[in-house]
Amino acid sequence: MKYDHILVRYGELGLKGKNQKQFLKTLVNNMRRQVEREIGKRPDVIREQGRLSIPLKGQPPQPFYPALDRVFGISTYSPVMTTSLDPADIQAAVLSELAQVPLEGKTFRVSVRRANKRFPIRSMDFQLQLAEAILAKYPQLVPNLTNYDLEISVDIRFEQAHIFLEKRPGLGGLPLGTGGRAELLLSGGIDSPVAGWLMMRRGVVVEGLHFHSYPYTSKQAEEKVLHLAEKMAAYSGHIDLHLVPFTPIQEAIGANCHSNIRITLMRRIMLRIAEQIADLRHAKALVTGDNIGQVASQTIESLYAINEVTTMPVLRPLLTYDKVDTVKIAKAIDTYETSVLPYEDCCTVFVPKEPKTKPKRHECAREEGRIEGLDELIRQAIEGTETVRCFANGSQPPKRAKLMDLIAAKDEDNG
């Protein structure tokens, strides 16, 4: 079957107002980069009214599908055959398209969308005309407007007509890069990668923050998180992951604070560190995989006590999700199998036997006051943070550097 374009629809972006052009520009750039990463060549992308299209230039459309399936902002897309606006040419293209697919016992309908109102035949009349021609040539087909196996779509534009049988679903959402930047607390479990992916789907550029407790946690646990970042980077090209040494702080909590409140204290201090790193990285929000009531630190009371330490927005896209729904997304984005690998993170290693589910803010503040030199420990953790740039599915070796060296180099460039 010879297709000459891939027609891309962008759904929600069509509702944008004066800034629609910027959203579309970002979507076009993301499409070009993602296709280039997948097939090694940057494609042309043509803007039409309410649509985008990629000229195939003699190439088959299938190699483009994996890339387009990972571009946020695409509603649906279709491989299309284009013709002139001559009704006879359109009819010939429709019949030619059907000749390439199995038809025996299939039901069908014809859908005509007439964006070009100057086209001489009304949509409904042209649908009937095409259906009659189809039945005359392919009598084995059965027309059915509601329960159909095949939909023959004709999109009549201003200079040409598009004919297609297939409408493939996209990810929807908003183009990555239109929603600002946020720091994702990436634990290594099922929830946090899904939370990060959902924020990316709303256009937010996400960086990862992982708190490790070596030697209490293994190097395999770190490799697991790096692998998760690579899985997420399949939708963005790369993701920067900040590895924060958390062992001294956890040891200080264990030595000085009541055991039933340890997890709450750890999460409060993690948010303090995350907020400072976010400021250094010009991020405007933090993201977590919290889900109401899933564990002791995710009750309303715990979240209230934890949130007290930061003025930065803490976004929790999974707050109301059923675990089954989260697992379903994790499998769809290919993070689930990595997330369930049996390597413990810093929270599971230090979890108390009976964690408090309704901690009070004043209790948390009192317990933290028992940690001598907490601000210095936080400063040391940030200074010891290593940043790893992880590339899509390990397509390139990760690049490592000290976070503070990156900040200093950037400040020097800006100066």
The enclosing H or E element of 325 equals: helix 323-332
57, burial (CB in 10 Å: exposed 0-12, middle 13-18, buried 19+) = exposed
Ranges assigned E (strand) in 10-59: 46-48, 51-55
Q: Which residues pair with 209 in a beta bridge?
A: 185, 242
Q: Which residue has the tokens 């769809």?
A: 332
Q: Which DSSP state fits 42? A: P
Dihedral sign computed on CA atoms, order 27, 28, 29, 31:
positive
Q: Which residue has the tokens 């970002």?
A: 26
What would the DSSP string read from start to end of 233-300? HTTTSEEEEEEEE-HHHHHHHHHHS-GGGHHHHHHHHHHHHHHHHHHHTT--EEE----TTSSGGGSH
Q: Is 289 annotated as a binding residue?
A: yes
Neighbours of 337 (CB within 10 A): 11
Q: Is 185 annotated as a binding residue?
A: yes
Tokens of 293: 């009531």
Nearest to 138 by CA among 166, 111, 90, 104: 104
Nearest to 393 by CA among 239, 260, 185, 283: 239
Cis peptide before 215 (omega within 30 of 0): yes
Q: Rounded to whole angstroms, how far apart are CA atoms 222 and 209?
A: 12
Q: Which DSSP state fits 142? A: E
Q: Rounded to whole angstroms, how far apart are CA atoms 77 and 34?
A: 15
Q: Is 62 annotated as a binding residue?
A: no
Q: Which residue has the tokens 């052009």?
A: 21
Q: Rounded to whole angstroms, how far apart are CA atoms 315 and 325?
A: 18
Q: Rounded to whole angstroms, how far apart are CA atoms 202 and 173?
A: 5
Please say whether the beta carbons of 210 and 246 come within 8 A.
no
Residues in the chain, total: 415
Q: Is 186 annotated as a binding residue?
A: yes
Binding residues: 185-186, 210-211, 267, 289, 298
Annotated binding site for ATP: 185-186, 210-211, 267, 289, 298
